[in-house]
């Protein structure tokens, strides 16, 4: 890789840290390359590269942050690029770190919100990195709970002049708007309730109209409302609830990003939601975030990683969760085996999911985030699995059942299921029914802002290609062309 022209001053900070860590130049280069692989980067540094850095050359791109992370892991304390005498950078892999502390987690996720709410279009083009799933899921599984998240208000330092009055640079008092949050704002139950209500609102919009409909508004809300709360003051109980609500909204930001095909950005939101859930002490919700990550991996064709994520989620909460949660976790594993074509493993996971949901009782206490997982959702999962295994008759039966049970408010999920049913009908040779179902789904997709909805339609059309000269297929294409 090409580096910047050498500086005149040798990098003594880096030399001192290399000595403290006990690295050889070749050893440091090797560790930087290995860390790059974890984040999907193919780096080719060697001992000569490190010699150049020691002489004052500045590595480009993401490398300063990678070097800092290598030393952080080795020395057990957080180090930045500047601590190593290197230029700071905005690394492409930023957001995939599983923060060491709640404070650092707030810094990372709030930086992500700020960049995303601006005009940083390149952020939405970052590639999904399968290797970037390993470290966060491992750290969540084996990491120690955070001992403390409470924040006490910072002592007030009066401005020059009359105490407690905000002043402009020329000394005149600056009036503060009635809704403007101040540093050290005391977070209360009403703030948490507001975050939860906003989450329900954006979830409803996402289900009905697609992730692209209000994603940007959600991110701006996180930046302008949630971040000041996280940086405010709160006791331990309120702090845990605050981190839980922030985790939920951050996962939702990732989910809506996933729905518009901003997959690298979605992955980063999911990792940060996982860390916020750990700060909240909410192990079950962390498992739900991992299941969400598993679903994205399935969608992108990374079945092996998806299986691992689903199993880590199961290990993380054990067998003590409510039946609906257990069913959700096993269904996620089944989907991953299905996309890999592993019939036996997929079937076994589906059986576990069905048995778990059968054990559910009307009075069971189910977390709010798992209440969507009912008979309709399980039938949907079964339909997808049987479709992926090319067991089309079973796929059609389960997809039809899901459509019968699913509430209209879950419009996008119904669309996906309708395409699964269309695909199953096509696999059974029922071309007329398949095209009629797909036409209905395409009509729905035209009214949504969902890249996934479009991709479901395209997947059906690829399967329809061998029948392109048949009358039902021609009619289908004509109707879809008219929609566009």
Distances (CA, A) of 230 to 116, 151, 244, 304, 438: 18, 9, 11, 36, 45
Mean pLDDT, residues 375-391: 98
Residue 401 has pLDDT above 70, yes or no: yes
Tens digit of each residue's pLDDT (9 = 90 or more) over 42-96: 788 999 999 999 998 888 767 888 898 899 889 888 788 888 998 765 444 568 8
Residue 398 has pLDDT above 80, yes or no: yes
Tens digit of each residue's pLDDT (9 = 90 or more) over 247-286: 999 999 999 999 999 999 999 999 999 999 999 999 999 9
Nearest to residue 295, comparing CAs of 266, 247, 335?
Answer: 335
Residue 475 has pLDDT above 90, yes or no: yes
Residue 170 has pLDDT above 70, yes or no: no
pLDDT at 182: 47
**Is the pLDDT higher at 79 or at 218?**
218
Tens digit of each residue's pLDDT (9 = 90 or more) over 307-332: 999 999 999 999 888 999 999 999 99
**Is the pLDDT higher at 409 or at 165?**
409
Written as six digits, the tokens of 176 are 């503060």
User: What integer best gives the mean pLDDT of the chain?
Assistant: 89
Q: pLDDT band at 160, cuts 50/70/90? A: low
**What are the structural domain ranges in the chain?**
12-93, 95-149+185-281
Tens digit of each residue's pLDDT (9 = 90 or more) over 125-143: 888 988 889 889 999 999 8
Residue 184 has pLDDT above 70, yes or no: no
């Amino acid at each position: 890789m090409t580096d910047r022209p050498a500086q005149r001053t040798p990098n003594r900070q880096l030399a001192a840290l290399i000595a403290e860590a006990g690295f050889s130049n070749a050893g440091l280069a090797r560790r930087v390359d290995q860390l790059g692989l974890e984040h999907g980067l193919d780096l080719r540094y060697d001992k000569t590269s490190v010699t150049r850095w020691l002489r004052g050359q500045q590595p480009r791109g993401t490398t300063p942050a990678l070097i800092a992370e290598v030393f952080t892991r080795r020395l057990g304390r957080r180090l930045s690029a500047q601590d190593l005498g290197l230029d700071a950078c905005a690394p492409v892999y930023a957001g995939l770190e599983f923060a060491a502390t709640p404070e650092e987690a707030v810094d990372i996720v709030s930086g992500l919100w700020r960049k995303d709410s601006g005009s940083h279009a390149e952020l939405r083009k970052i590639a999904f990195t399968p290797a970037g799933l390993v470290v966060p899921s491992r750290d969540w599984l084996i990491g120690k709970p955070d001992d403390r998240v409470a924040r006490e208000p910072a002592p007030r330092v009066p401005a020059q002049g009359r105490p407690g009055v905000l002043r402009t640079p020329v000394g005149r008092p600056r009036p503060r708007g009635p809704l403007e949050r101040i540093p050290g704002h005391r977070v209360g139950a009403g703030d948490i309730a507001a975050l939860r209500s906003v989450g329900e609102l954006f979830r409803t919009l996402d289900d009905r109209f697609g992730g692209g409909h209000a994603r940007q508004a959600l991110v701006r809300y996180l930046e302008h409302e949630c971040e000041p709360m996280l940086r405010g003051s709160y006791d331990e109980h309120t702090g845990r609830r605050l981190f839980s609500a922030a985790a939920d909204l951050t996962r939702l930001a990732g989910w809506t990003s996933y729905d518009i095909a901003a997959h690298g950005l979605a992955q980063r939101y999911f990792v940060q939601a996982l860390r916020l859930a750990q700060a909240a002490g909410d192990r079950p919700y962390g498992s739900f975030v991992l299941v969400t990550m598993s679903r994205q991996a399935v969608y992108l064709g990374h079945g092996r990683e998806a299986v691992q994520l689903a199993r880590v989620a199961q290990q993380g909460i054990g067998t003590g969760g409510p039946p609906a949660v257990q069913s959700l976790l096993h269904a996620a594993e089944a989907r991953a085996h299905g996309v890999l074509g592993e019939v036996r493993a997929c079937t076994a996971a589906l059986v576990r999911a069905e048995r778990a949901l059968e054990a559910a009782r009307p009075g069971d206490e189910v977390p709010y985030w798992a209440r969507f997982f009912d008979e309709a959702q399980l039938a949907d999962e079964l339909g997808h699995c049987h479709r992926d295994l090319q067991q089309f008759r079973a796929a059609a039966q389960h997809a039809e059942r899901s459509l019968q049970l699913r509430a209209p408010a879950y419009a996008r999920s119904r669309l996906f299921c309708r395409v699964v049913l269309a695909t199953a009908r096509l696999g059974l040779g029922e071309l007329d029914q398949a095209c009629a179902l797909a036409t209905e789904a395409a009509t729905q997709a035209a009214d949504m802002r969902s890249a996934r909805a479009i991709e479901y339609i395209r997947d059906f059309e690829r399967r329809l290609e061998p029948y392109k000269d048949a009358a039902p297929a021609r009619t289908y294409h004509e109707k879809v062309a008219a929609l566009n």
